[in-house]
Structure 1
Amino acid sequence: MTHPSARQVELLEGAYRYVLEHGIGELSLRPLAAAIGSSPRVLLYLFGSKEGLLRALLARARADELGLLARVDRHDLGALPDVGRAVWSWLVSVEHRALLRLWVEAYSRSLVDPDGPWGSFARSTVEDWLAVLAAAQSPAERDTPDGRAERTLVLAVLRGALLDVLATGDVERVSAGVDRYLTKIS
């Protein structure tokens, strides 16, 4: 695999900032190129196709997600509810809203167009998050049906709560619900 050129990295970062603000679903090359100081022809040359650019943007978004997951130090946080709270704290932070809206858009597109550039985005993110939650469980608990069910339920609660916050902006109400659930499984 070849390393991207400095120009390709620069344009990808500009395109990423653009889709964080404008969304990715109806991305049009002409307005994107104008906004980031390029041309559709250059973007197609550097990324191979619009689909190639979309894949690069999704990989960039996933890199941000994986960066979050790497920062959740499960060893210092303790049990699954503590990790759930740490993840929730990151999810409700206002500075992450644009990334999370992009994540939801890519996640849903992945479900309806699994053969397109969205590919396995949803499945991959579910696996990423479940791995973080599994690491918060004891080895004896992790590989049991109950352990798998518990981390799946925590993920479902966090994902549903995230959608609620993005739809309503009501962080206080939703956070109280998340905390109540996580307290019950403590």
Structure 2
Amino acid sequence: MTHPESEVEGHPLARPPDPERRARILARATDHVLAHGLAGLSLRPLAAALGTSTRMLLYDFGSKEQLVTELLAEARRRQALLYAERFHAPGASRRETVELAWEWLTAEERAPYMRLLFEVYVDAMARPEAYADGGSALVADWLGFFAPLLRGSDVDSVDVTVILAVLRGLLLDRLTAPDPERTDRAFARFAALLRD
């Protein structure tokens, strides 16, 4: 005999959702993807790595796509917190701000976030339908982060776009063909061109 109050998502006697377990699984799934990337992500190996089952992942998140959406949001949330902790440089010039950003973005501990960022960029170009916003949040995140840092009457969205394009290009180069000295020299030359 089943009880209506025991029916969850159409499964008789299913356990009610456990938000704490779901949050723990999401945090661990995010850690896993930061360490191993998204390419070829499959629920069965992911579930095994997380010490759960495919069935429970689907129960908690509904679909692989929803899980990926949420773990990408979690990675972005973590990155935003790290940004907020690092960037408090009132009175810094544009050049100093960009130099601080480069130093922070190229730190070894940021590499998993940067690799995931570029992996999602490429995936969003190939499969925009897989992202609710077609991937535009990736660009909006960077613009939203940098625009306030580069305050000043002569800073506009085009300036921020140019600075971000250079940073992303050098980061991609650095991650793909690791040559830190070359990319650091290229960045230094770019930074020298910035007006204070």
TM-score, length basis structure 1: 0.86
Match of 2:126 in 1: 112
Larger radius of gyration: 2
Between 1:14-23 and 1:151-160, the stretch displaced more is: 14-23
Task: Decide which of 85, 92, 102 is 2:99's aligned counterpart.
Answer: 85
Separation (CA, whole Å) in 2 of partners of 1:68 and 1:183: 26
Count residues in correspondence: 179
Aligned residue runs from structure 1 range 148-163, under 5 A: 148-163=157-172
Runs of 4+ in structure 1 over 4 Å off: none
Amino acid at match of 2:123: R
Secondary structure, in 3 states, of the residue corresponding to 2:154?
helix
Secondary structure, in 3 states, of the residue corresponding to 1:76?
coil
Separation (CA, whole Å) in 2 of partners of 1:48 and 1:29: 12
Separation (CA, whole Å) in 2 of partners of 1:139 and 1:4: 47
Amino acid at match of 2:171: L
Maintained 8 Å contact 1:12/1:57: yes
Separation (CA, whole Å) in 2 of partners of 1:4 and 1:140: 50
Separation (CA, whole Å) in 2 of partners of 1:77 and 1:7: 44
Maintained 8 Å contact 1:80/1:137: yes
Separation (CA, whole Å) in 1 of partners of 2:41 and 2:63: 13
Separation (CA, whole Å) in 2 of partners of 1:39 and 1:107: 29
Describe the superposition over 1:113-141 as per-residue Cα deviations: whole angstroms up to 9, x where unpaired.
2221x333742232222233322344522
Amino acid at match of 1:177: A
Secondary structure, in 3 states, of the residue corresponding to 2:129?
coil
Structure 1 gaps of 5+ residues are none
Match of 2:87 in 1: 73
C-alpha displacement of 1:77:
5.6
Change (3 A) 1:93 1:77: farther
Maintained 8 Å contact 2:44/2:53: yes
Separation (CA, whole Å) in 1 of partners of 2:144 and 2:71: 23
Match of 1:39 in 2: 53
Task: Decide which of 70, 88, 94 is 1:56's aligned counterpart.
Answer: 70
Change (3 A) 1:38 1:106: same
Amino acid at match of 2:185: A
Describe the superposition over 1:137-170 as per-residue Cα deviations: whole angstroms up to 9, x where unpaired.
445224xxxx322211110000000001101221
TM-score, length basis structure 2: 0.82
Separation (CA, whole Å) in 1 of partners of 2:188 and 2:141: 22
Match of 1:169 in 2: 178
Secondary structure, in 3 states, of the residue corresponding to 1:141?
coil
Separation (CA, whole Å) in 2 of partners of 1:79 and 1:123: 29
